[in-house]
Structure 1
Amino acid sequence: MNTINNKPDSCNKLLATLFILLFFTILLISSINFVDAADIEIGNETDGGIKQAVANASDDDVIILDEGVYSGENNSNITFDKNLKIAGKNKNVTINLEGSFFY
């Protein structure tokens, strides 16, 4: 008779263990921080230019350039050492990256 009474107890223990595992799994997943990429908008007159925007950016950020020509000290000789996207707001954007390095 003890085997009949032990089956519900062992089943309840199994269910309790599964519930605890499920609870901690949900807790772990909900504590993970999901970081979205930031959009950094600059114009061709922005202090520091593309060079400063790249320095301030984090991996997977998007640097969005206003219409214009980007050249000169702050827009050339840039080292791109992180995963970034650079996009123009429209097709009237020109970038002179003379002396820049990509790796």
Structure 2
Amino acid sequence: MPSAVGSKSVTRSEILEMMSEKEKLEQQLKTHIDVLQSHRVGMDDPLVDEQDFPRNDIDVYQIRLTRNQIICIRNDLKAIMDRIEKSLNAYFTQGNGNESDMVNGHCSLKPDH
């Protein structure tokens, strides 16, 4: 993903777009965690029994796939949070805190409705 923070200025709409992307990732993460919970398995539970055979009470393939997707989404979420942090810092240091962005004297990035 190209960085929104660089030599160009950061706009409010770019930050809102990143925040929307973050919310989508959080929803995907919740969905995948719900899949694990439906199987009564966490991220660290063993997928083999005491004799090192795959457990027959769970869908091992689906659990491994879901765990992998969770790890990938967590990495993406960390990256987007870092981009949002840098973008917010750049946004407010470049002097974009217009009166239109102020709510009760405080800066706001809430979407316009």
Output the TM-score relative to the length of structure 1: 0.31
Pick the structure with more strand per residue.
1
Pick the structure with more helix per residue.
2
Q: Which has the higher contact order (CA 8 A, sep 6+)?
A: 2
Output the TM-score relative to the length of structure 2: 0.28
